[in-house]
Amino acid sequence: MRCVDCLPFIEEYFDGETDARTGASVGAHLAACADCAAALDALRFEQETYARYDRQLEVSPTLWAAVSAEIARGPLPKKSGNGHPFLARLREGFAATLAALTLRPALASSLALLVVGVTAGALWLSLARHPAMKNQLASNEPGRTTTVNPSPASTNASGGDTPTRNTADDGPAVAGIGQPNSRRESGGRVEATRYTTPPATSAPDESVEKLLAYTPPAARGSNIVVIKDDDHETRQDLPVFVNTASAGEGVVTTDARLADPGDKEVARHVERAQMLLRSFKNARPAEGDTVNVAYEKTNARKLLAENATLQLDAETRGDKDTAQVLDSIEPFLLDIANLRDQPSREEVRSVKERMKKTEIIAALQVY
Amino acid sequence: MKRLAANTMSVELGQPGAHAGALMNSMEELVARVRSGDEEAFRLIFERYSRPLLGFIFDMVGDRHTAEDLAQETFVRAFRGLSSLRDETKLSTWLFQIAKNVARESLRSRRRDSANVEIDDEEVFFEPHDHRPTPAGQLLDKELNGVIGKALMRLDEDKRLVFTLKVLQQRSYEEIAEITGFSVGKLKTDLHRARAEMRRRIGPYLGGEQ
């Protein structure tokens, strides 16, 4: 073996990782070659130096206390095999029940019917407790009509008959949505449309754009859905989605996607919004003075619709905290959704500054 | 205990591998006891591995308090995930895997937090521990500790990982490959480069080389 063949293996040899044959060759060469032996000695000396490296670390007694406290809070490790006698008994019991049902088809079918009955009952009860869903179901029944009437006791000072649209430029009713929404641009614009109850004499706004917008009741005037049948009239204060394609004489549909999304869905949404805002925050100028935020824009539009649905649901449930968090996200989603595909650095910077000022990302992180 | 004593005797009598076997058995037993809910057994595992794991994490993150927090996280994750350990004889490798993941996650989040902040790595880590006057030898050792620590932190993450596991933790290539998920070829290359970088940085302490 020559030096050029030996040196590439010298670290491996020192680490004891060469195979037997290579190790023997390298060892034989080292015995005869002073230069290669010196290289090995240098490695040894290095290792001795690193062996003296003292991090001055001691395992503090509090470390075990902290670990112990933490694992006491959480679940025990899952058992493998037949470890836990209780689980084994449970499994055996379940197997025995299945075997019994297999042998008695009549009993099995009775149990199945019972399960179906209980499930249907629970479903009916949950729908009955959810007025919005109940109304939505009711609106689909034949013989019923759904109309919107203004609330006589509207919180809006003007009061009135027909919901009209207030956009960012329309004044104070929109100020609560957030200043980031105050710019207007042409082309593909998404607007947060707020409905309030206008003066009694006002006509329906004919220029309502084709968009889906909703109106959380806590934020603006009441939206009364009146459900009529032959001898009953039920008034329900509901946030509504306006199908602007048919926006005429106050006719709206109750296309409120009111299925209960649950906390997990809200958490996922908030996380997605947080990721979007982070992504936007990290967007850097691509070419010239523009920033490519097409991806963020598309996502913001998707999240905007979802945000509206979840906010509506939170308000319906009376979950003010969640509604407030979602409300705080909305202006930024709107801002990003309304940007051009290649906005100027200045436009992006203004949104970023508002994000920084309101610390929205940090707020979402702790949600 | 009897078996442990017998194994210790066999080691003293010079039978190779006997002590390792005893340790393996005891670790397997400990794992089985933890799985059956015995927290005391987990404390014994903690006592056995807390020091090397704390050292390893410290070498990766370069900060004492963070290392302690991450060591805690490592043991908590280990306890909760013990069911996923298939081969009890590889408990040590498995623990180092968890520690590596925990340390890397921390480094990643730290990078994110300081994305736009220029860090002067000469000043960030390794504060002096003790300002009292010390004998010259101790002073030199302390200086060496600081130099090695700083040089380590200037290695890139993969090289630091491999260097720490091989040179400071004396793990085999096979174990390192299991812990890191790197191929043996990659880890050999990284280790060679890491050694060369470290040699360049701590040259004056290696007898005037470089």
Task: Please tell me what DSSP assigns to residue B164.
Answer: I
Whether B188 is in a domain gets the answer yes
Alpha-carbon gap: A177 to the closest alpha carbon of chain B (Å): 30
Low-confidence ranges of chain B (pLDDT < 70): 1-25, 113-140, 206-210
Determine the pLDDT at residue A89: 63
Instruction: Using CA coordinates, name the residue in chain A closest to B71.
Output: A63
Residues in chain A within 8 Å Cβ distance of B209:
42
pLDDT of residue B192: 94
Specify the pLDDT at position A132.
54
pLDDT, residue B130, reads 43
**Domain tally for chain B?**
1
Domain presence at residue B106 = no
What gap in Å lies between CA B12 and CA B6, rounded to an integer?
10
- Looking at residue A95, its pLDDT comes to 59
Which residues in chain A are closer than 8 Å to B168, comparing Cβ atoms?
Answer: 50, 53
Instruction: Look at residue A163 in the predicted model and tell me its pLDDT.
Output: 36
| Domain that residue B199 falls in | 132-210
ipTM confidence score: 0.75
Placement of tokens 């929404």 in the chain:
A181
Collect all residues of chain B within an 8 Å Cβ-Cβ radius of residue A78: 82-83
Contact B144 A53 (CB under 8 A): yes
The answer to the question of residue B79 being in a domain is no
> Which residues are CB-contacts of A264 (< 8 A; sequence separation ≥ 6)?
none
CB atoms A68 and B43 under 8 Å: yes
The residues near A138 (Cβ < 8 Å, ≥ 6 apart) are: A144, A227
For A129, list phi and psi in degrees, rounded to 5. Answer: -80, -15
Chain A interface, mutation test: which of B66, B73, B79, B147, most A Cβ atoms within 10 Å? B79
Helix or strand run (H / E) with residue A237: strand A233-237
Q: Supply the pLDDT for residue A262.
A: 66
Mean pLDDT per 10-residue run, chain A (367 residues)?
88 90 91 91 88 84 88 62 55 61 70 90 78 52 41 38 36 35 42 40 40 37 44 46 37 39 77 85 73 82 85 81 85 86 81 82 73
Radius of gyration of chain B (CA): 20
Residues in chain B with CB shorter than 8 Å from the CB of A59 are: 50-51, 54
Q: What are phi and psi of B136, to 5 degrees?
A: -55, -40
Q: What is the pLDDT of residue A214?
A: 37
What is residue A253's predicted lDDT score, i.e. its pLDDT?
A: 35
